[in-house]
Homo-oligomer: A and B are copies of this chain.
């Protein structure tokens, strides 16, 4: 047909991989859903693995292109990290199938590290490192905060949220409580202005809300 065959294959594969998993999806499943024979698929991709990698490759590339623009004009390291998180989480929510493949099916693959997807993901995360370094030299973050470790905390938390959301079949919004989680992480980063802590307004006489755990704050 037209030149959209490759896209049809990718779209079919994306759905099927995310839905049934990589192993349980057959080439026949994919080529049939794309309206082709098995053999024809091999005109577009070297094989099943190649196809698996092609999907997130495209997505991560898009992310990378968008990121600069998103952060443009935002002042302050904490604000930038915040923007990064909100932006990323929204992208994940809008492309859950791509995210699922990246988070659940790609790490399994031995070629992952050698792959371009991986280096692009690293580039994405290196933005975080830069922001943290900026925050440290401006004094917004603690002077003794090691940037690479702070990045590990940030990325680790973020990835954990996404992974669990995907495993739980995205049955809730990723934005639930995002604000609070971000605050917890940031509290570990920020300088301690020897007084007036943003969060000390409660200073509960403790023991009071022993068992409150669902709905918090205010």
Contact = CB atoms under 8 A, between A and B. Distances in A.
Nearest to A169: B113
B194 A197 contact: yes
A76 B211 contact: yes
Contacts of A185: 153, 188
B167 A157 contact: no
A194 B205 CA distance: 9
Contact of A194 (B109, B143, B186, B203): B203
A177 B149 CA distance: 8
For the complex, would chain A's binding face be called helix, strand, loop or mixed by DSSP majority?
Answer: loop
Contact of A199 (B75, B142, B160, B202): B142
Interface string A187-218: 11111111101111111111111111111111
A78 interface: yes
A198 to B, nearest CB: 7
Interface in A98-118: 104-105, 107-110, 112-113
